[in-house]
Structures are given as C-alpha cells and as structure tokens.
Amino acid sequence: MIAGARLAAVAAVAFAPPALANGEESEERLPLSTVLFASLEAGPAKTFAAIGMKKALTGGLADSGFRLMVKVGVSQEETQARRPHGTTYKGEAQSLLGYEWRIGSTFLALYGGTDYEGEQHEAAAGSVLLNRYGARLHGDLWMTPLTGTMLQASFYVSTINGRLWGRVAPGWLLPRDMGVGDLYLGPEIEAFREREYGKLRLGLHLTGLRLFGLSWRLSGGWQSTSDRPSEAYATLGLHWQR
C-alpha cells in the first residue's frame, strides 16, 4: 500500500502540467507588472526623500498599456535667505493615471492626475501650516538612440504655484569587461520653476548599477537657486521590478 502511494505520488508529479509541477517556473513566467522606486536628494540646506510605485493595469511592463503611478515625498529645508527665518517641512503626494508606449527598449509615458502639498514652517514667532491642491501632468522617456548610448528625459507641470520641472540625461555605455553590466555615464541637466523661485542643476549621472537585485542611479553636481548661493547637490535613485 505504501509502495502504491509512493508510485501514485511520483506519477502525479511526472505527469502534472508545468504550472503545477513547478510553481516557481510558473511564477517566473508571469509578466513583470510593478515597479517600486525611491529617491533621496541631499544638499547643504535641503533634504528630500520619496517612494512610489508604477503599476501596469493591462498586461505587463514590457507591453504598451495603461499605468497607475503613485508617489509620496517629504523634505526639510532651512530657510535663511527669506523671512521669516526657520525650518520648513513639506509633504507631497501624487496619484496619476496614464498610458505607456513600448517599442523594444524604448518607452514613452504620459500621465495626468492629482497633486497635493502640505507645508509647515517653524520659526521663532510660531508655526505656519499650508495645504495646497492641484493637478499634475507628467511625462517620461527612455530610449537607446544609438548602440552604446541612452537618453532619459522627464518633465511635469503642476497647477500648484505654476510649477514646471524637467530633467534630461544622455549617457554612454561603460565597457562591459568592467563587470558592471549595462552601466551608463553621462551629463544631466535639471530645471525647476515656480512662482518667485527657480533652480538649475548641472551634473553627472551613473545609471544602471545592479546591486542587491535593485537598479541604482547616482548623480551629483552643482546647482544654482534664486534664493541661495550656488552649491553642490547629490541624488540617489533606485527601482525594483516585480
């Protein structure tokens, strides 16, 4: 009886459909549909951190389709250039729906949705609380125009304080014999504008570093703002597909 049970178990495994015989293989065949991402920016007077998610609503990330993107962020900034002096804490959140076009390794995405910012300013005279609500239009582009090159570009427009932001970062593939995979190095330019404030950044980026199962981006350079002397900046970004 025991031998018969063992034989039946072996037969069940041997003749089971692939999805039942090996659950891990079936899971691996499922298309990747989610990207989790995070970023950290640091400078002498301001620190900003954000986390978010992009989800394919139809099919997988490798196919064209509708996408949902949500993001939350927090920042702390010392405000010495304008009165009242003190520390400003901000929180932001976006919920965006859009469509992403995929052609090989190239993708172009356009999103629209809600934008929120909460601000708390701490000064000697007390605290000031502000809440702002608006709409945001956001776009992303990733492409490899020539062999061994890449181009990444992003922008957004928000009705909160008339905000405009954009970043363009071309890159060149580093030699693969360095053992780092598809790692790109190149310049980046980033600009931000809102009512009574502007910022311009020029720097270098390193994109595509694979470590701990994540894809990393490092960048740094020099920034000029309308309310402070020019100073250095550094950013760290990562994402994980699942």
Q: Are residues 90 and 204 in the same domain?
A: yes
pLDDT above 90 covers what percent of the chain? Answer: 65
Domain limits at 4? 1-30
Q: Are residues 152 and 181 in the same domain?
A: yes
Q: Are residues 102 and 51 in the same domain?
A: yes
Task: Please report, for the domain that includes residue 167, its CATH number.
Answer: 2.40.160.40
Question: Please, which contacts does 149-158 make with residues 24 or more away whose CB atoms are closer than 8 Å?
Answer: 149/173, 149/184, 150/184, 150/186, 150/207, 152/207, 158/115, 158/134
pTM of the model: 0.82
Q: Are residues 113 and 140 in the same domain?
A: yes
Q: Are residues 82 and 200 in the same domain?
A: yes
Q: Are residues 100 and 210 in the same domain?
A: yes
Write out pLDDT tens, residues 37-96: 999 999 888 899 999 999 999 889 999 999 999 999 999 988 755 555 678 999 999 999
The total domain count for the chain is 2
Q: Are residues 2 and 106 in the same domain?
A: no
Q: Are residues 42 and 26 in the same domain?
A: no
Position 182 scores a pLDDT of 87
Write out pLDDT tens, residues 175-199: 877 666 789 999 999 999 999 899 9
Residue 161 pairs in a beta bridge with none
Q: Are residues 11 and 97 in the same domain?
A: no
Q: Are residues 17 and 136 in the same domain?
A: no
Q: Are residues 84 and 102 in the same domain?
A: yes
Q: Are residues 26 and 37 in the same domain?
A: no
